[in-house]
Amino acid sequence: MKKEMLINVRQAEECRIAIVEDGVLEELYIERTSQNNYVGNIYKGKIVNLEPSIQAAFVDFGVGRNGFLHISDVEPQYFRQGGYDPKEMEREEAERNSGNGNGNRRRRFSSRPRVKPPIQEIFRRGDEVLVQVIKEGVGTKGPTLSTYISIPGRYLVLMPALGRVGVSRKIDDDDVRRKLRDMLLELNPPKGLGFIVRTAGTERTRKDLSRD
C-alpha cells in the first residue's frame, strides 16, 4: 500500500492537506487563517433553548454563536436526566434489529441507539453539557455540536461514550481486524472508555498502541 501526504500552501491564507492511499483520496483537511476554526474543539456549554419541533437544543459554549445539538447527537448517558435507562434502550434496539422476520440477522451495529427519548425530556434550560464541534456554522447558522466526544491520536481514537474497543471500517481484512482488537484488549483499557484503531495503526506493535 502506497500512502502519501500532500500539502498545499500556495495561498497564504489557506493550508490544504490530503492523505492519499494507492491514488485514492482518504482524508482532506483545510485550514483557513482568515476564520476561526472550532471543529474538533471540546467545550462545556449550557442549554439556552429547546426546540421540540425539530428535536434540537441550542447551546451557548462561549464563542459568540450558539451551537446546534440534535437529539441524534446526544449520547445515552444524558438519558438518565429524563429518567430513562440507556442500557435498557440499547438492549431494546438490539433486539429490534436482530432479525427481519425471516430469520435473517441484519449485519448492522451502531453505538448510538436509533430510538431516543424526546430532547425536551432529557434537557432543561440551564443544563450543562459537554460538547464537541463537528461542523462549522454556515451563514447565520451556528456550529453543529455532538456529545459523542472523539479524541484522535496517531494510531487510536479515544471515544469515551463507546465503551468498547473497535477497528476502523477502512481496515477490511478480518485477520488484521481480529489481531488489532486482541492487541487492544491485552492492553486492558480503562473500563467505560472506548478506543478505535485507525488505519495508521495497522502495522504497529502493541507497544506503539500502548504509547498512543
Taking Cα atoms as reference points, which of 74, 178, 164 lies closest to residue 116? 74
Domains of the chain, each with CATH number or no CATH: 3-32 (no CATH), 42-100+107-149 (2.40.50.140), 152-211 (no CATH)
HEC letters along 154-212: CCEEEECCCCCEEECCCCCCHHHHHHHHHHHHHCCCCCCCEEEECHHHCCCCHHHHHHC
Contact status, residue 86 vs residue 79, Cβ threshold 8 Å: yes
DSSP string, 50-96: EEGGGTEEEEE-SSSS-EEEEGGG--GGGGGGGT--HHHHHHHHHHH
Q: Give the integer Cα–Cα distance in Å for 14 and 2.
A: 26
Q: Give the integer Cα–Cα distance in Å for 133 and 54.
A: 19
C-alpha distances in angstroms, 65 versus 38, 55, 62, 96, 142? Answer: 12, 19, 8, 39, 6
Q: What pLDDT was estimated at residue 69?
A: 95
- Looking at residue 120, the DSSP 8-state letter turns out to be H
Contact status, residue 98 vs residue 106, Cβ threshold 8 Å: yes
Widest Cα–Cα separation across the chain = 59
C-alpha distances in angstroms, 8 versus 13, 16, 31, 32, 71? Answer: 11, 5, 11, 12, 37
Local confidence pLDDT in tens for the 212 residues of the chain: 788 889 888 776 678 888 888 888 888 887 766 566 788 899 999 999 999 999 999 999 988 889 999 999 998 888 877 667 666 665 555 454 444 444 333 333 344 445 688 999 999 999 999 999 998 887 778 899 999 999 888 889 888 877 788 888 888 888 889 998 898 888 888 887 888 988 888 888 888 888 88
- Spell out the residues 6+ positions from residue 122 whose beta carbon is closer than 8 angstroms to its own: 71, 74, 78, 79, 81, 82, 84
For the record, the C-alpha cell of 44 comes out as 462545556
Q: What pLDDT was estimated at residue 50?
A: 95
Q: Give the integer Cα–Cα distance in Å for 203 and 107.
A: 27
